[in-house]
Amino acid sequence: MNNSYFNPSDCNTICDITGFKVKLSETKPQWDGLQVIPEAWSERHPQDFAPNIIKPVVHKDSRPEQYYDTAAIPTFDPV
């Protein structure tokens, strides 16, 4: 089909992927801003919309603190 016909409300353009000369009304915008023909159009990859990963909570050391009984520690008197 010859796309060089005159249409006052439409202009000629080049498909950004295939390089074919088409009317602007025959193209559709792709997610990355390219104007492409419907045969070359592709959806955005699903991994671009991956959910946020929740970071693991870091806890302090779960072991209890050491308890030292000061009464049980022998004292040394200097002589």
The 10s digit of each residue's pLDDT in 22-64 is 999 999 999 999 999 999 999 999 888 888 888 888 777 767 7
The 10s digit of each residue's pLDDT in 4-32 is 788 888 899 999 999 999 999 999 999 99
Q: Is 12 helix (H, G, I), strand (E, B) or coil?
A: strand
Residues 6+ apart with CB under 8 A from 28: 35, 36, 37, 38, 41
pLDDT at 79 over 60: yes
pLDDT at 21: 92
